Amino acid sequence: MTGPVLRVPGIMSAESARAATDFILRQQRVDGAIPWFDGSHIDPWDHVEAAMGLTAAGQHAAAWRAFEWSAATQRRDGSWPMVLRGNEIEDANSDTNQCAYIAVGVWHFHLVTGRVDALARMWPTVEAAINYVIRAQLPGGELGWAVDQDGRIADFALLTGSSSALQSIECACFVAATLGHDRPRWRWAGNRLAEALRERPTAFADRSRFSMDWYYPVLAGAVRGAAATDRLAESWDDFVRPGHGVRCVNDSPWVTSAESAELVAALDAVGDQDAALAVLSDLQRLQDPQTGGFWTGRNLDDSVLWPPEQTTWTAAAVLLAADAVTQTTGGAALWRDAGWCGGELGSSTVADDGAAS
């Protein structure tokens, strides 16, 4: 283990953070893959999120093994299947947001470790993934949420997924620039996606009952400034249960650890440190002292933990939130600094036919 120890004074002890880290490590397979939990399935987004938690916690070797697994299992077209169980493909279709997220994980690893060689090693993987994802961009700029085995792109987009993918494209542009590569096609795609997220919210399928659609445009940097603050304030009472955490959906009394942790990072990104610390404190009650993992969620009406599972990516989300509010590692400002910057990376001259690369 290398680097500073994560802790949030008065909220999350170093011992609790280490327990959450050890929980993720125990689930990681010998080949580097990180399933939801031992014996469960693997998806490419949550696998990367778990690796990022290990990175923030100083377990760089374990995190790197996870990224190497991603590189080794990427398909020739740049994608990964939605679901693997063991070494078998359970769902061969691809989720565009899931495939793009490798760029965030790799850039975060570089920010924490300073290793440019890691970027160079993972560049072919990142490049292929982002090229694959932007081919699924719909005419309005939003991303088709999935691509099936025959290459057919879904005819609708998801706000949360497209927001996350925008941050992935941004991180990929940073990787490219650091290595001396120019990818105007990516900037062009990012500009179109950012415009759709900010100006045409009705272009996305209505998932407004889900808290992720509320905070994710802020978390991933699609919305910033006063618009971000207003957005979080507008639906605060719909989703936040003071003393308990964040509801997954606004029509159910079910608070969840991962959504709570992600809201912490979103609040920190817009400078609302007090609210971020309050939510982070509330979600600590969902940590299992026996395993170090975090329960997925709790139904507030009957206090039942449901579903009865603890996932690696949930533990990782909490570790990343702790890092965000304390700015412990070099990657802690990943969400504070998010905000589509395609123009800052160089003006795009790509025509609407997408001919440049």
Q: What is the pLDDT of residue 143?
A: 98
CA dist 171 → 20, 106, 168, 241 (Å)? 26, 8, 5, 33
Q: What is the pLDDT of residue 351?
A: 36
Contact 187, 181 (CB under 8 A): no
Could you tell me which CATH class the domain 14-334 is placed in?
A: mainly alpha
Residue 347 confidence (pLDDT) above 90 = no
Q: What is the pLDDT of residue 4?
A: 80
Contact 315, 49 (CB under 8 A): no
- List 84's β-bridge partners, or say none: 42, 89
Report the mean per-residue pLDDT for the chain: 95
The first and second tokens of residue 23, run together, are 């929980």
The first and second tokens of residue 135, run together, are 């081919």
What would the pLDDT profile of 206-216 be if each residue is shown by its tens digit?
Answer: 999 999 999 99
Half-sphere exposure of 293 (CA within 13 A, CB side): 20
Residue 218 confidence (pLDDT) above 80 = yes
Q: Whole-structure pTM over 0.75, yes or no?
A: yes
Question: pLDDT-derived band of residue 348, with 50, 70 and 90 as boundaries?
Answer: very low
Residue 350 confidence (pLDDT) above 80 = no
What would the pLDDT profile of 98-130 be if each residue is shown by its tens digit?
Answer: 999 999 999 999 999 999 999 999 999 999 999
Best CA proximity match to 250, nearest among 309, 209, 290, 286:
209
Q: What is the pLDDT of residue 355?
A: 31
d(CA 119, CA 110): 7
Angle at which helix 159-179 crosses helix 211-219, to 10 degrees, equals: 20
d(CA 60, CA 51): 9
DSSP characters for 293-342?
A: -BBSEEETTTTEESSS-B-HHHHHHHHHHHHHHHT-STTGGGTTS-S--T
DSSP characters for 3-31?
A: SPPP-BTTTB-HHHHHHHHHHHHHH--TT
Mean pLDDT, rounded, for 27-40: 97
What would the pLDDT profile of 144-201 be if each residue is shown by its tens digit?
Answer: 999 999 999 999 999 999 999 999 999 999 999 999 999 999 999 999 999 999 999 9
Q: What is the pLDDT of residue 356?
A: 33
Q: What is the pLDDT of residue 3?
A: 75
Mean pLDDT, rounded, for 72-79: 98
What percent of the chain has a predicted confidence (pLDDT) above 90? 94
Distance of CA 137 to the CA centre of its chain: 19
What percent of the chain has a predicted confidence (pLDDT) above 70? 95
Angle at which helix 226-234 crosses helix 211-219, to 10 degrees, equals: 160
